[in-house]
């Protein structure tokens, strides 16, 4: 017989939105008297593709430097997957799943494509760069990443002989070998020829949609971003001017004024 005094079971909670992988709270950096990043508060959700745009000097790369630990914050906090990483060194952030590419190429010209990826695989395991291991144990991992990034036919090519697009593919391969959950891409299309842009865009889309990684990307090519981004964050004078869907950002008059005639 059913008990009448049993307390009613509360209804299940509404499904929560995906948790924030990255949580920035009042994040800032001042150098001398200048504020380079100003009071940035932002949540990036699991699986989200967030583009970061803004006029030259708006603070986009400086924000990436703070998130990846290249430079220290002077205010605020950074949370990664629930961990406070505000004061964590670069390698600790990488171990927690954060990977980053740079605006300027960070490759060794004479080193082959495969050796770049092998060295990155070794570094991702915490083995020093100085203990260069040609161990076959990385071969499968390297081949897999080269296949994913369309570089399998360039394994023996020195980085200097790659096109700009090929170098960007390699930079992505170097980051992906560490299997990061959150990837920061700083202007991946910079210097890339128009014919290489679609391939690189497709690669970044696959990293986000097929591999289900969370992506933050600084990029000036709006046409590229419009096909990739779930939301766009607009920076201006170090702060966040707007964070919204691509359509809403494009229609925002404050954003258009911030560009002062520059093409958005």
Ligand X SMILES: Nc1ncnc2c1ncn2[C@@H]1O[C@H](COP(=O)(O)OP(=O)(O)OP(=O)(O)O)[C@@H](O)[C@H]1O
| 36 belongs to the binding site for ligand X (CB under 6 A) | yes
Closer to ligand X by CB, 60 or 154: give it: 60
Q: CA angle 74-76-78, nearest 5°?
A: 110
How far lies 214's CA from each of 18, 79, 81, 121, in Å? 11, 15, 12, 20
Could you give the string, one character per residue 53-92, with x where binding to ligand X holds by CB under 6 A and - elsewhere? -x-xxxxxxx------------------------------
Q: What DSSP state is assigned to residue 180?
A: -
- The Cβ of residue 173 has, within 10 Å, a number of other Cβ atoms equal to 23
Closer to ligand X by CB, 61 or 101: give it: 61
Q: Which residues pair with 50 in a beta bridge?
A: 216, 231
CB of 247 to ligand X, least distance (A): 23
Can you tell me the distance from the alpha carbon of 170 to that of 167, in angstroms, rounded to the nearest whole number? 5
Q: Is residue 79 within 8 Å of residue 143, measured between CB atoms? A: no
Residues 6+ away with beta carbon under 8 Å from 112: 155, 156, 157, 158, 159
| 34 belongs to the binding site for ligand X (CB under 6 A) | yes
CB of 220 to ligand X, least distance (A): 7
Closer to ligand X by CB, 31 or 139: give it: 31
- Total binding residues for ligand X by CB under 6 A? 11
* Interacting span for ligand X (CB under 6 A) from 28-36, 109-117, 148-156, 203-211: 28-36
Closer to ligand X by CB, 142 or 243: give it: 243
Can you tell me the distance from the alpha carbon of 100 to that of 81, in angstroms, rounded to the nearest whole number? 16
Could you give the string, one character per residue 191-210, with x where binding to ligand X holds by CB under 6 A and - elsewhere? --------------------
* Interacting span for ligand X (CB under 6 A) from 50-58, 168-176, 198-206, 248-256: 50-58
Place of tokens 């603070």: 59
| Closest C-alpha to 218, from 60, 85, 70 | 60
CB of 207 to ligand X, least distance (A): 22
Closer to ligand X by CB, 28 or 178: give it: 28
CB of 148 to ligand X, least distance (A): 28
Place of tokens 């709270």: 25
Q: Which two tokens stand for residue 125?
A: 């395991």
CB of 63 to ligand X, least distance (A): 7
Chain residues that interact with ligand X, rule: CB under 6 A: 31, 34, 36, 54, 56-62
């Amino acid at each position: 017989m059913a008990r009448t005094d049993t307390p009613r079971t509360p209804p299940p909670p509404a499904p929560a939105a995906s948790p924030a992988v990255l949580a920035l709270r009042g994040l800032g950096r001042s150098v001398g008297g200048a504020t380079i990043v100003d009071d940035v508060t932002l949540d990036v959700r699991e699986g989200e593709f967030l583009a970061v745009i803004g006029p030259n000097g708006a603070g986009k790369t400086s924000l990436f430097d703070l998130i990846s630990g290249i430079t220290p914050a002077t205010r605020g906090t950074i949370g990664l997957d629930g961990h406070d990483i505000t004061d964590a060194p670069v390698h600790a952030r990488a171990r927690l799943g954060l990977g980053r590419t740079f605006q300027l190429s960070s490759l060794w010209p004479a080193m082959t494509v495969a050796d770049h990826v092998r060295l990155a695989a070794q570094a991702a395991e915490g083995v020093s760069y100085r203990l260069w291991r040609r161990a076959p144990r990385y071969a499968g991992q390297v081949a897999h990443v080269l296949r994913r990034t369309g570089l399998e036919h360039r394994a023996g090519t020195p980085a200097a002989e790659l096109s700009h697009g090929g170098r960007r593919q390699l930079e992505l391969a170097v980051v992906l070998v560490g299997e990061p959950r959150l990837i920061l891409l700083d202007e991946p299309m910079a210097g890339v020829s128009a014919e290489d842009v679609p391939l690189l865009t497709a690669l970044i889309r696959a990293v986000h949609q097929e591999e289900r990684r969370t992506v933050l990307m600084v990029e000036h090519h709006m046409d590229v971003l419009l096909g990739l981004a779930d939301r766009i964050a607009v920076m201006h004078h170090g702060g966040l001017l707007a964070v919204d869907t691509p359509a809403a950002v494009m229609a925002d008059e404050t954003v258009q004024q911030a560009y002062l005639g520059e093409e958005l």
